[in-house]
Amino acid sequence: MPNLINKVELRNLQIEDYKELKKSMIESYPEMVNSYWKENHIEKLLALFPEGQLVIVADGVVVGSALSILVTEDFAFKTKNYKTITGNYTFSTHNPKGEVLYGIDVFINPKYRGLRLGRRLYDSRKELCEQLNLKSIIFAGRIPSYGKYASEINPKQYIHKVKRKEIYDPVLSFQLSNDFHEVRVLKNYLEGDIESQEYAVLLEWNNVYYEDNPRLINTEKSIVRLGLIQWQMRSLGNLEALFEQTEFFVDTVSGYGSDFALFPELFIAPLMADYNHLSEAEAIKELAKYTDAIRKKMQEFAISYNINIITGSMPYLEDGHVYNVGFLCRRDGTQEMYRKIHITPNEIFYWGITGGDTIQTFDTDCGKIGIVICYDVEFPEISRLMADEGMNILFVPFLTDTQNGYTRVKHCAQARAIENECYVAIAGCVGNLPKVNNMDIQYAQSAVFTPSDFAFPSNGIKAETTANTEMTLIVDVDINLLKELHEHGSVRTMKDRRHDLYQLKKIK
């Protein structure tokens, strides 16, 4: 390694660099005589795909390079040797419409190793892959230390030992540390590669930002704005009064450009005051008579205010059973129902609520979401199944009367955010309802929780309201941060599960 470098530059390769490029290649592959690219090869690559050819220049000297072509994913996975992938070194296999960046060479002059210059080349390749909206980077990596172990173990065992750091391979160890994963072993890949016994490992890096058939309009958002309503329980004279207060909050959060409005569980309970002379079970059935009208009004608000509304929850009477349900009212006018699955002892005893039996996610213009009502968030299996379906945001309308109950909801919601690598938004009611039995007091502090990694708040709380105060909470969440977390997080809970030991699946 040189004692001092004054300037390092990463840029695109130019034909004028060839003389220095050749010298560095020869010094990089001393064990492979005449393995350097000829000038006509470089000219061809620059003519076909100039942006894919990179060099590292130290103090004006080319000390490393990364060369690439574009191919289809199918071709990259099926091709078994270097000569075929390069079109017998003519690069006729380059396909401008290919969705994969195929790395045909990368090297750093031995005199300049140890400065992480190779990592710069790989990072630049990844940036190029993202800029060109390519699906992945694929290439076959040599395993130059395998020759030392070939008489003892096969290539598959060798790869396993390299992954476990029992063996160091100067190429494969580096690739794995750069977030590439192995696809399969290739035999007779590079003729004359004695060190690797002509074996190679097909490796892949996935572009988490890749969009298949990207759209110019109606694209799925990466930054999603959430509007949470911390609803003050108050006496309401009639249904119109409820609509007036509801519209006020929808207008408020939509005025800030929110993509979602989240209402709490059973926020319509003040309408039960007229039925307080009845038993709790009969009063909840009377309240259920308002549900269809509220759903229709929420659909109207969703369209007129251009916002997706999660309606909290309300009682719903079906075949003689009372369910605790809510609706996702999309801004395009469509709607879907969700039902509370786990019913608390209080709900069963006083209201005779029946639990729903459907676990589902919902597609929106902001990606896939999940919705669970209050007690459901305390059961990790539900949200894990939703996460397996691609959920990015979990919405939790809740209603808790004491701080004990709220603590259960809060901490379980935070756990769901961490274990499922998603955002969790909770919204609850505050205040008192002295004229409604079984709804006397409320305690809430609405919030948005995040996973716990460097890209997120250190305490896992994106934002939260003042406890027990009527207010709204407007929060932006970045879906791209979740994509990066899934692939490159400090820990990867979704990927690191031991499916060989346990599995989780829906029964119905």
Check if the beta carbon of residue 361 is closer than 8 Å to that of residue 354: no
Q: Characterize the bridge pairing of strands 367-371 and 393-398.
A: parallel
Nearest CA-CA partner of 383 in 345, 346, 338: 338
Three-state secondary-structure class, residue 253: helix
Q: Is 340 a catalytic residue?
A: yes
* Amino acid letter, residue 236: L
Residues 6+ apart with CB under 8 A from 395: 260, 262, 310, 369, 370, 371, 372, 424, 425, 427
Check if the beta carbon of residue 202 is closer than 8 Å to that of residue 77: yes
Three-state secondary-structure class, residue 296: helix
Residue 140, strand partner residues: 202
Nearest CA-CA partner of 263 in 286, 238, 295: 295
Backbone phi, psi, residue 479, to 5°? -70, -30
Q: Is 459 buried (19+), middle (13-18) or exposed (0-12) by CB count in 10 A?
A: exposed
Check if the beta carbon of residue 11 is closer than 8 Å to that of residue 55: yes
Nearest CA-CA partner of 423 in 391, 398, 380, 453: 391
Residues recorded for the chain: 508
Tokens describing residue 352: 């005779």
Catalytic residue among 340, 410, 462, 483: 340
Q: Characterize the bridge pairing of strands 223-232 and 393-398.
A: unpaired
Q: Is 247 buried (19+), middle (13-18) or exposed (0-12) by CB count in 10 A?
A: middle
Three-state secondary-structure class, residue 375: helix
Q: Is 366 a catalytic residue?
A: no
Catalytic residue among 374, 412, 422, 429: 374
CA angle 419, 487, 186 (to 5 degrees): 130
Catalytic residue among 99, 182, 198, 265: 265
Query: 384 to each of 253, 381, 400, 418, 487, how far by Cα in Å?
Result: 29, 5, 23, 11, 18
Residues with catalytic roles: 265, 340, 374
